[in-house]
Amino acid sequence: MALQPTLRPLIIAGTADAPHTLDIFLDYVCPFSAKLSLAIDSVLVPLLGPQGKYHGKVKAIFRNQVQPWHASSTWVHEASLAVARTSPDKFWAFSLALFKAQDDFFDIPTSTLTPTQVREKLAKLAEQATGAPAAKVQDLLTNKTSPNGGVDVTDDLKYTIKFSRQNGIHVSPTVLWDGLIVNEISSSWGEKEWTQFLEQKVLV
């Protein structure tokens, strides 16, 4: 599993030592990613959880897939990584909240806001949706050092972007099974498709 220690909260289902890995590349301002997030939460999380059939066999890792043609994409992904730092157990809950509120962070709604204002909205959403302290999230999203030094989670963001680039990931959602892209997986998949997929892939 390729995942630096600070990003362990991105394991959203299953155990870290599970032999099989689903890497799921999602963008918070992508409608198709939002659709897939519902299936992840309602189907995959239970199947890979403590009472699930594939517990200890498969883990699902959320992979932040920044889509730079949407200006706010960087900011929403930064916010999720800030929550991963301040409230690791709330990362997936905040991700779901972001997907539900994604319309608020589309291009036009954010076009008249400054980056600081967008980050303030994200910090408030984090607290309202998950209880993650807005002040701590906001602090991690604040420029503090050099004029071009980024914020406190910039290094985590760089890691996620470099991981996507070196694996040739271009669109969201994209899913890897044990390191290889699985093109047939779609945002329209529901319980039937995911169940059949896992039955075929997990043989022991």
**Tens of pLDDT, residues 21-52:** 999 999 999 999 999 999 999 999 999 999 99
Separation CA 104–CA 100 (nearest Å): 9
Tell me the H-state helices in the chain.
31-39, 45-48, 72-86, 91-100, 107-110, 115-130, 134-140, 154-166, 191-201
Q: Where are the domains of the chain?
A: 5-201
Paired tokens of 95: 């991700």
- pTM (2 decimals)? 0.95
Contact by Cβ (8 Å): 75, 118? yes
Q: What is the CATH number of domain 5-201?
A: 3.40.30.10
Single-letter amino acid code for the residue at 36: L
9 pLDDT more than 80:
yes
- What's the pLDDT at 94? 98
Name the pLDDT band for 145 (thresholds 50, 70, 90).
confident
